[in-house]
Amino acid sequence: MDARVKTYDDKMQKALDFLLSEYQTIRAGRANPHVLDKLRVDYYGTPTPIQQVGNITVPEARMIQIAPWEKSLIKAIEKAIMASDIGITPSNDGSVIRLVFPELTEERRKELVKDIKKKGEECKVAVRNIRRDANDAFKKLAKTEVSEDEIKDLEDAVQKLTDKYIKEVDKSIDEKSKEVLTV
């Protein structure tokens, strides 16, 4: 692959990777520790990821258990969970915090699918913007050292990349939507 095209391939891959990481934070009825990825706990005045202040386990399909390394952190972790958009009320027994995920209602599942599609569309727009930037860069090259045929080849290569990544995005939208709609 041409080095000039490889740059744009990397950018498109990053856009897809970002989408997939966003999808991991969407809860689909099962307990997924990734829903806690963006949460920060006030740990001695420093916002710290929950993963760094306790042990996170999934003892059952619809439960996450957080065992903080310091008992004094229980209140701070509960506060962070309550302030987040997870929508689950934590319960604690003095030593561990439990998050029990309720079954998703049909309405909530449909909302999640809309959100999944919206995030997918945003990723497609990002991929198309990268293609546009690539084509603009190639047109600038045409004014200097590169022939029109080479420019055409570069544009074709970027179009093929764009098609490939759009297909990947569509596939990930379908997979995540099926996962959310599965009861």
Residue 14 makes CB contacts below 8 A (sequence gap 6+) with none
Q: Which residues in 63-99 are b (16+ Cβ under 10 Å) and which e? A: ebbbebeeeebbebbbebbeeeebebebeeeeebbeb
Residue 152 has pLDDT above 80, yes or no: yes
Residue 27's pLDDT is 65
The listed range with the strongest mean pLDDT (18-22, 52-56, 109-113, 120-124) is 120-124
Instruction: Tell me what the mean pLDDT of segment 30-38 comes to.
Output: 78
Residue 58's pLDDT is 87
**Residue 36 to residue 10: CA distance in whole angstroms:** 28
The fold of the 3-25+105-181 domain, in CATH, is Topoisomerase I; Chain A, domain 4 (1.10.132)
Residue 37's pLDDT is 80
Higher pLDDT, 142 or 113: 113
User: Which of 155, 158, 154 minimizes the C-alpha distance to 166?
Assistant: 158
pLDDT-derived band at 149 (thresholds 50, 70, 90) equals: confident
> SS3 of 128, please?
helix
Residue 98 has pLDDT above 80, yes or no: yes
Residue 30 has pLDDT above 80, yes or no: no
Higher pLDDT, 53 or 32: 53
Residue 79's pLDDT is 86
pLDDT-derived band at 183 (thresholds 50, 70, 90) equals: low
**Residue 170 to residue 158: CA distance in whole angstroms:** 18
Which is it for the CA torsion 131, 162, 145, 139, positive or negative? negative
Question: How far does Cα 15 stand from its chain's mean position?
Answer: 10
Q: Which residues in 46-56 are b (16+ Cβ under 10 Å) and which e? A: eebebeebbeb
Task: Report the length, in residues, of the chain.
Answer: 183
Q: Where are the domains of the chain?
A: 3-25+105-181, 33-100
The string of pLDDT tens digits covering residues 80-90 is 888 877 777 88
> SS3 of 28, please?
coil
Higher pLDDT, 126 or 150: 126
The fold of the 33-100 domain, in CATH, is Gyrase A; domain 2 (3.30.1360)
